[in-house]
Amino acid sequence: MMSPLLEGIPAVFYSGLYVLQVYGKLEQTFQGKKINIIVYITDFPPATQIKVDGGEFEVIPLEDIKDPQELEDLECDGYVAAPLEILYGGVGAIMKGIRQKQVKIKNMKVLLSLADILAGGIA
């Protein structure tokens, strides 16, 4: 597991996953799924790789990623790259961002995993 001494966006993801883990909801939320996703909030680098396997997780800042196009070369289940305002704007904003080429996405299921992580399992 990565050190909890992360900053910025990687720390936000770590916190959400940690809350899920502490309350025993990580494995429940991802029900035995292995996920390996990358989130790149373009106005708040670095990109962040998030791996979940059962009740364990890892958050890895990807300091070397400078352009969303570079995500194509990384091994992952999917990724999303977008400005923060669009990601927080919900599905409608994301779909509009895709049409306007402000959002780069591979595998829409990334958004579902991202929502679960950011919710911190509080439902």
Cα–Cα distance for residue pair 81/2, rounded to 1 Å:
22
Structural domains present in the chain: 8-119 (3.30.1050.10)
Q: pLDDT exceeding 70 applies to what percent of the chain?
A: 93
pLDDT computed for residue 3 by the predictor: 54
pLDDT computed for residue 98 by the predictor: 92
Q: pLDDT exceeding 90 applies to what percent of the chain?
A: 51
Query: What is the band of 29 on the pLDDT scale with cuts at 50, 70, 90?
Result: confident
Highest mean pLDDT among 9-23, 28-42, 67-81: 67-81
